[in-house]
Amino acid sequence: MARYGLVIHGGAGAIRRSEISPEREKEYRADLEKALAVGYAILDKGGRSVDAVAAAIVVLEDSPLFNAGKGAVLTSAGTAELDASIMDGKTLGAGAVAGVKKIKNPILASRSIMEKSPHILLAGPGAEAFAKEQRLDIVSNKYFITERRREQLRKTKAEELKKLAVAKGGRAAADFPIQDGFGTVGAVALDQHGDLAAGTSTGGRVNKAVGRVGDSPIIGAGNYANNRTCAVSGTGHGEFFMRTLAAHDVSALMEYRGMSISDASVVALRKIAALGGDGGIIAIDAKGNIALPFNTAGMYRGYKLSDGQSGVAIFGDAKK
């Protein structure tokens, strides 16, 4: 049987050992392992890659540790605005939501749009009305907001005021390990039928302008899947992923230049870095080969393949 598997990420950024307590590291690893276990179990039973991707991301959206769903970073107004997308590599079908404030699991709304509407991207109140029609869980915006994120926003605003004179954006709170509020979550999968899928979900950037939309719900930028090549999910400075169409770029480099999944992912990330952007990419190709490059200090990540290879890592000095 051909190899199949799942790769996930929980964001990239200034993630250093000195900034995460052993207790918090265990919490991160536990949730990454849970997401992997839930998603891989679907693949192992012969389920679809789309199902595995959605299930893994729901786990990460429900965890307050990551910047997606509950625990998402806050806008300049102190609210949570969420973006997500999903893509089916077999059909090239896709669905996405942007700027939603009440949908408990944006990845599920994205999937409903892909499968039950003629559209790809719905935003704001329209997306929320559609989700309600689909009987998805609708919650108060307060559900997503944690005290940790309130404190992060407060410190970021204070830092930006200090740096205003030199025209630099503020950094995230020193005790929060995601640089500038990076921290998208994502998953890519290859199932036993040879079908690929990718999903991405995020709260965006800390202290972002109200209404700002990043790369995560943009097909081809922060998310892409095509059975001919690969499935890709990105995390990092979204404006740069949009400018380079990073996720599709990985696929194009493979299809048109014959690059491996590893080389294509690295090249796509280098293009982002050349423009001044940071982040990471997870990808899996049609043969089950994977890539997890990043140009930051660390990236929350994990993978589980049918040949027995598996692992969870956070810091930049870890294998894979």
Structure tokens at 82: 């969420």
pLDDT at 161: 81
| Residue 286 reports pLDDT greater than 80 | yes
Give the rounded distance of the alpha carbon of 116 from its chain centre. Answer: 23
For 50-74, what is each residue's pLDDT tens digit? Answer: 999 999 999 999 999 999 999 999 9
Active-site hit among 184, 200, 229, 235: 184
The CATH class, in words, for 5-315 is alpha beta
Annotated domain spans of the chain: 5-315
pLDDT at 182: 57
| In contact, 195 and 89? CB cutoff 8 Å | yes
Q: How far is CA 66 from CA 29, 175, 227, 259, 271, in A?
A: 12, 15, 29, 32, 26
- Alpha-carbon torsion 16, 17, 22, 25, what sign? positive
Structure tokens at 138: 């609708």
| In contact, 310 and 33? CB cutoff 8 Å | no
Better-predicted residue by pLDDT, 124 or 171: 124
pLDDT at 179: 41
| Residue 14 reports pLDDT greater than 50 | yes
Spatial CB neighbours of 13, under 8 Å, sequence gap ≥ 6: 172, 177, 178, 179, 180, 182, 183, 236, 278, 296, 297, 298, 299
**Catalytic annotation present for 229:** no
pLDDT mean over 174-199: 78
